[in-house]
């Protein structure tokens, strides 16, 4: 019967090392948590087991031999960490790989599921405390090539704690199950009796952990080091040893040969050869005192500085007779160029710009530094990709423990900030040049938009269609914002537009109830001209003596000073034209004038008859 517990399901999930999930339709998403896709595991020369020894003649097990070889490398790495250049390089690797983004985040989480984003943010920032812990993790990975992190998993809450483990004690075991060749386990073999990871009544000397319980950060740059990683400073290990020997030789030479000495040439005259030594010894004793212990008064026989500070006494006679004292200068060390050569090779192996380590005089110009900065940014980007792969594994374990399955299990992406602004500027400049080229070619009518999409931006047909739909959506959002700003109307909520040219062409202002417009039959209640009180005897009143305004029209066309300045003919025609009076309206006005004249004639005739 299959194990249906959380840990049993996690074991089956990570037995393949490649987590594959369907994200919709025929699309799959792969999360390669152990980077098995980037390396080959079969038919490789194992550096630890076969490169240094003859196979089958060691008398030790392969695992023990591998661990012994690794420990020898680790000793060199520890000594290299004491070197100022290598130690600074490791710090720079960690600093540049864990920089904060412009928003203050060390790790950026991208997902379209807000709940997954909140869970992962809680995991990385609150549980793991990645802002503080990621720096030493990356530094140890770059130093040893490997870093092991033990995960404490709770069936209800997922990952509750992480515990760093020493590379000296952890071994990665592969190929245990013939039916499942990707099955991986980790064995902790502590070098001491005290267990350093867990306090128990009886300390465990050996502990086995499943693949899902350990996050193995490893630099997979050389397949000969499998199943472990290769240290970032491994390329400079030999050069570092040579440089250390040259520096030691220089110091020894400085101490032993550099002090200045004197040569005393003593004229021995006719002294017999057998008495020369005694005579010379007497002169030496007179000129220099032998070292004496101040406490006991005895000669200190250990005090012998003859090779360093003692002067030389030489007897002379004959042609070289005559006592003289000459100074013997100290020897200068001429191998400084060799040391500089080895130091440059060490810096080259570390792949860090010299200016980053305080050697600015080696940089010829800003362009040179920019080029070195971009190359170094690519190195940091490779380290960040390896770090992200294991952080993704930790996130998958946490989501799986909280019940997420299938597409949701890999529905997130992690990003670390690239430290090089020059690297980012080059990307921006490249996109700017592409955009300018596309605009010019499209403006000159040389090619179509589809050709630009496919040949300059290298879009597929599906991507072009998606971008077209998104552009239409952007224009909709732009129109919506302009409506809210100018009209105070949100088309997405009201379903109406206001003040657009199409509305004006249809005779709408945006305030009608529908496209037909106008008022209902009979008009709105209370609508129409307001009631006016009649004023008898007034020309402008509705019930006055001149309701049609004939008197005003006569007054406006009169040349009499009584009615003001007369209107010029051109001015009158202009006003008439601006009023846009059509023929029908002119006819109505003419008919009205005739009726008024007849009315006045009748009134005058009646007055005469009376």
Do 427 and 414 lie in one domain? The reply is no
Q: Which of 494, 512, 532 is the last residue of a domain?
A: 494
Do 124 and 18 lie in one domain? The reply is yes
171: Cβ contacts below 8 Å, ≥ 6 apart? 63, 66, 67, 186, 187, 189
Residue 263 domain-assigned?
yes
Question: Is-cis flag, bond preceding 49, omega within 30?
Answer: no
Residue 83 domain-assigned?
yes
Residues paired with residue 218 on neighbouring β-strands, in sequence order:
146
167: Cβ contacts below 8 Å, ≥ 6 apart? 70, 74, 140, 144, 146, 147, 148
Residue 247 domain-assigned?
no
pLDDT of the residue at 207: 86
Residue 361 domain-assigned?
no
Do 219 and 279 lie in one domain? The reply is no
Do 278 and 375 lie in one domain? The reply is no
What does the DSSP 8-state code read for residue 295?
A: T
Do 132 and 264 lie in one domain? The reply is no
pLDDT of the residue at 577: 62
On the 0-12 / 13-18 / 19+ scale of CB atoms within 10 A, 123 is buried
Residue 245 domain-assigned?
no
d(CA 332, CA 321): 31
> Are 244 and 41 a contacting pair, CB within 8 Å?
no
Q: Which of 494, 519, 541 is the last residue of a domain?
A: 494
Domain count of the chain? 4
Residue 120 domain-assigned?
yes
Residue 542 domain-assigned?
no
Mean pLDDT by 10 residues, the chain (610 residues): 74 70 62 60 48 48 72 90 92 90 88 91 90 92 92 87 89 82 83 51 70 90 82 91 88 74 79 85 70 68 51 72 69 74 88 78 53 80 91 91 86 86 77 88 87 87 88 88 83 75 56 53 68 63 63 59 54 60 56 67 68
- CA-atom Rg of the chain in angstroms: 49
Distances (CA, A) of 411 to 395, 518, 528: 10, 55, 65
Do 412 and 429 lie in one domain? The reply is no
Token pair of 175 as six digits:
């190929």
Residue 316 belongs to domain spanning = 259-328
Do 81 and 204 lie in one domain? The reply is yes
> Are 300 and 220 a contacting pair, CB within 8 Å?
no
Residue 556 domain-assigned?
yes
Do 44 and 116 lie in one domain? The reply is yes
Token pair of 103 as six digits:
């928003």
Do 304 and 386 lie in one domain? The reply is no
Do 190 and 281 lie in one domain? The reply is no
Q: Which of 328, 358, 381 is the last residue of a domain?
A: 328
Q: Is 449 helix (H, G, I), strand (E, B) or coil?
A: helix
Q: What is the largest CA-CA distance in the chain?
A: 191
Do 46 and 166 lie in one domain? The reply is yes
Do 82 and 99 lie in one domain? The reply is yes
d(CA 155, CA 294): 76
pLDDT of the residue at 529: 64
With 0.75 as the threshold, say if the pTM is over it.
no
pLDDT of the residue at 518: 59
pLDDT of the residue at 308: 44
d(CA 134, CA 164): 11
């Amino acid at each position: 019967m299959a194990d249906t517990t959380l840990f049993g399901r996690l074991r089956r999930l990570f037995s393949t090392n490649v987590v594959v999930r369907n994200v919709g339709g025929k699309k799959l998403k792969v999360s390669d948590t152990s980077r098995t896709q980037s390396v080959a595991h079969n038919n490789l020369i194992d550096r630890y087991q076969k490169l240094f020894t003859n196979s089958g003649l060691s008398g030790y097990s392969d695992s023990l031999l591998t661990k012994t070889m690794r420990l020898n490398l680790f000793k060199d790495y520890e000594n290299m960490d004491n070197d100022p250049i290598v130690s600074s390089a490791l710090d720079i690797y960690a600093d540049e790989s864990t920089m904060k983004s412009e928003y203050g985040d060390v790790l950026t989480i991208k997902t379209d599921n807000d709940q997954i984003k909140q869970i992962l943010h809680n995991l990385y920032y609150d549980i793991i405390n990645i802002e503080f812990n990621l720096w030493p993790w990356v530094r140890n990975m770059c130093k040893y090539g490997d870093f092991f992190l033990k995960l404490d998993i709770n069936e209800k809450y997922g990952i509750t704690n992480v515990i760093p483990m020493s590379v000296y004690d952890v071994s990665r075991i592969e190929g245990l199950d013939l039916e499942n060749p990707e099955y991986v386990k980790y064995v902790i073999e502590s070098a001491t009796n005290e267990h350093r990871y867990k306090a128990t009544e009886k300390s465990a000397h050996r502990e086995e952990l499943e693949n899902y319980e350990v996050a193995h950060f490893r630099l997979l740059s050389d397949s000969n080091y499998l199943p472990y990683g290769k240290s970032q400073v491994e390329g400079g290990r030999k050069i570092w040893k040579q440089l250390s020997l040259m520096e030691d030789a220089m110091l020894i030479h400085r101490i032993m040969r550099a002090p200045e000495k004197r040569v005393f040439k003593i004229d021995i005259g006719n002294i017999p050869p057998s008495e020369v030594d005694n005579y010379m010894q007497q002169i030496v004793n007179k000129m220099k005192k032998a070292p004496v212990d101040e406490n006991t008064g005895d000669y200190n026989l250990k005090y012998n500085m003859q090779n360093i500070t003692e002067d030389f006494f030489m007897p002379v006679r004959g042609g070289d007779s005559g006592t003289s004292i000459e100074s013997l200068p100290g020897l200068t060390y001429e191998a400084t160029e060799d040391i500089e050569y080895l130091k440059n090779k060490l810096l080259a192996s570390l792949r860090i710009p010299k200016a980053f380590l305080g050697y600015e005089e080696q940089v010829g110009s800003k362009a040179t530094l920019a080029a070195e900065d971009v190359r170094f940014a690519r190195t940091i980007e490779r380290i960040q990709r390896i770090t992200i792969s294991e952080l993704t594994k930790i996130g998958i374990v946490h989501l799986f423990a909280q019940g997420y399955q299938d597409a949701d299990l890999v529905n997130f992406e992690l990003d670390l900030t690239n430290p090089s602004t020059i690297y980012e500027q080059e990307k921006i400049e490249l996109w700017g040049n592409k955009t300018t080229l596309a605009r010019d070619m499209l403006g000159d009518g040389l090619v179509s938009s589809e050709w630009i999409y496919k040949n300059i931006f290298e879009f597929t047909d599906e991507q072009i269609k998606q971008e077209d739909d998104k552009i239409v959506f952007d224009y909709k959002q732009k129109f919506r914002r302009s409506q809210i700003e100018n009209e105070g109307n949100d088309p997405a909520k009201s379903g109406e537009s206001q003040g657009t040219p199409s509305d004006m062409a249809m005779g709408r202002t945006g305030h009608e109830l529908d496209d037909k417009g106008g008022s209902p039959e009979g008009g709105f209640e209370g609508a129409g001209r307001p009631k006016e009180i009649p004023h008898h005897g007034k020309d402008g009143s509705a019930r006055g003596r001149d309701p049609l305004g004939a008197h005003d029209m006569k007054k406006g066309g009169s040349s009499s000073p009584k009615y003001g300045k007369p209107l010029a003919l051109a001015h009158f025609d202009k006003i008439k034209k601006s009023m846009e009076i059509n023929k029908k309206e002119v006819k109505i006005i003419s008919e009205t004038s005739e009726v008024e004249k007849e009315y006045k004639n009748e009134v005058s005739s009646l007055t005469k008859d009376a």
